[in-house]
Amino acid sequence: MGSWLPADQFSIKVLPTIVKLFASNDRAVRACLLQHIDQFGQSLSAQTVDEQVFPHVATGFSDTTVSIHELTMKSMLVLAPKLSQRIISGSLLKYLSKLQVDEDPGIRTNTTILLGNIANYMNDGVYLKYISDTIDIVPS
């Protein structure tokens, strides 16, 4: 996707359109973006991710389609390093908390795996509080 363009031209010519597409309500468009986020995610600025991309991607956490849930979680592996602590400790962890008690065991498992993968992007206080809360949820 635009791999023939130099990075600066890609940022000017392609990324603005990609960012606008994240606002689409069309599941097929969102799914396609999420499937290929590894190809352009590193080109997104932290500010763009926080302000323009994450709010739209986060709708996938509450989507009724399991495949959108899974793609949304996978996209966090690319987006989490660019998210502010405010978004991580606020919005993202709230979504993940809800998914940890989802009726689908696969979603619960993938949520736990995602938390392990993004833990190093959380500040220590949030990490310790969230992990201790998570341990309290796990049945003995």
Q: What is the pLDDT along the chain (140 residues), one digit of tens a residue?
A: 555 778 788 888 888 999 999 999 999 999 999 999 998 888 888 999 999 999 999 999 999 888 998 999 999 999 999 999 999 988 999 999 899 888 889 888 998 899 889 888 887 766 666 665 555 555 54
Residue-wise pLDDT tens digits, 15-49: 899 999 999 999 999 999 999 999 888 888 899 99
The residue among 20, 46, 51 whose CA lies nearest residue 33 is: 20
Are the CB atoms for 47 and 84 separated by under 8 Å? no
What pLDDT shows up at residue 81? 96
Selection from 52, 42, 47 nearest residue 10 by Cα: 42
Domains of the chain: 7-137 (1.25.10.10)
